[in-house]
Amino acid sequence: MNKTKRLRQLFERSEFFVLPGVASAFEAKMVEAIGYKACYMSGSGTAANIAGLPDAGLTTMTEIVGNARNIAAALSIPLVSDADTGYGNALNVYRTIQEFIRAGVAGVHIEDQVSPKRCGFIAGKQLVSTEEAVSKYRAAVAAGEELDKDFIVIARTDARTAVGGSLEEAIRRARAYREAGAHVAYVEGVQNREEMKRCVEEIGKPIMTNTLGIPPAEHPSHEEMEEMGIACAFHPTVGRHAITYRILWEYLHDVKARGFLAIKEWDELLERFPWKYPAPPHRYDLLGFDRLRQLEEKYLPAEELKKYEGCWGLYTPGKGGGKHF
């Protein structure tokens, strides 16, 4: 079964699923290794990772699709990608969808903001008219059906928290987008459990959502969201969570100040604490060095494999290494 069909089945079944957000193929390979059913590419994370830019409509369709292509190629599970505003009008959206399909992506979400857009949780968002947004979703669905009838178009509305917005406006728009053919509705910025429930009841399934707009103490659990009828919750910042941001910042400062001594102490600190969950494969195993060694043994002459004899490395393909250096 291909990836788009598998993604469609995930959205259509009654069982809830989670999309962890990533910005690189390496993060995505961890998502798959842990056992998630699908993965999500964050537009915000991509802008930060590939260009060091804010999520403010500064990245191009070529840049976003290029990163999605790399991630999709590294996965055997479906990839859902942020497609921003579709990078233009309905005609641009038509091409955008087909480029994502050719890149191996199984589904995208397109938002109804003006261009240049901005991250859904940054103040100052503005919306295009409902009519303009509807034309984009109609074009997106048609473009998908031309190349892959199972490709998923997710209609994202930012009307809950945009200038002049409200939950009522978000629901009205989402219903119009679904009537235009969008397969899944996604209301950005819901503020509490009650708003989630209203989205399911008044827009209709399937609904994708996240909890970033809800105070942490009031976050519904995954079980509660499944009971509400939510099809999917995605966590777009998982791959670059504030914890990771802070640890890297402090680690880099410490290495700059103390050099190898800092590296040694950080390594010792990690070794004192056992893994809470099963330890991951060695980083290079996860990336495929062991598989590369298998292919070498299958296809290269024996003489070529002598390169592994009488040499040294912190890691040897097929045999691993002592640390996740």
CA distance linking residue 286 with residue 28, whole number of Å: 11
CA distance 116 to 96: 16
Whether pLDDT at 318 is above 80: no
Q: Hey, what are 121's tokens?
A: 């949780």
**What's the alpha-carbon Rg for the chain, to the nearest Å?**
22
Q: Rounded to 5 degrees, what are φ and ψ at 57?
A: 75, 20
Mean pLDDT of the 133-152 span: 97
Q: How far apart are CA 246 and CA 244, in angstroms?
A: 6
Output the average pLDDT for the chain.
Answer: 91
CB 163 within 8 A of CB 127: yes
Q: What is the rounded CA–CA span in Å between residue 238 and residue 84? A: 19
Q: Could you tell me if 129 and 169 are in contact, meaning their C-beta atoms sit under 8 angstroms apart? A: no
User: Assign residue 221 a region: left if phi > 0, alpha if psi is -120 to 50, beta otherwise?
Assistant: beta
Distance CA 79, CA 71 (A): 8
119 is annotated as an active-site residue: yes
End-to-end CA distance of the chain: 37
216: number of Cβ within 10 Å: 7
pLDDT recorded at residue 282: 83
| Confidence at 137, pLDDT banded by 50, 70, 90 | very high
pLDDT given at position 266: 85
Q: CA dist 195 to 47, 182, 209, Å?
A: 30, 21, 11
Summarize pLDDT for 94-124 with one digit per residue, the tens: 999 999 999 999 999 999 999 999 888 888 8
Percent of the chain with pLDDT over 70: 97
Question: Per-residue pLDDT for 89 more than 70?
Answer: yes
What are the domain boundaries of the chain?
Answer: 3-240, 243-321
Residue range 30-42: mean pLDDT, rounded: 93
If you classify domain 3-240 with CATH, what class do you get?
Answer: alpha beta
What's residue 325's pLDDT?
55
**CA pair distance 114, 126, nearest whole angstrom:** 6
pLDDT digits (tens, 9 = 90+) for 179-226: 999 999 999 999 999 999 999 999 999 999 988 888 888 889 899 999
Residue 127 DSSP class: B
The residue that leads in pLDDT, 295 or 275, is: 295
Per residue in 248-274, pLDDT (tens digit) is 888 889 888 998 898 888 888 888 888
pLDDT confidence band for 91 (50 / 70 / 90): very high
Percent of the chain with pLDDT over 90: 61
The predicted structure's pLDDT at residue 228: 93
Encode 259-277: b = buried (16+ Cβ within 10 Å), e = exposed: eeebeeeeeeeeeeeeeee
What's the token pair of residue 61? 């369709």
Query: Within 13 A of 56's CA, how many CA atoms are on the CB side?
Result: 7
CA distance 53 to 47: 5
| pLDDT at residue 277, as a whole number | 81
Catalytic, out of 119, 199, 232, 311: 119
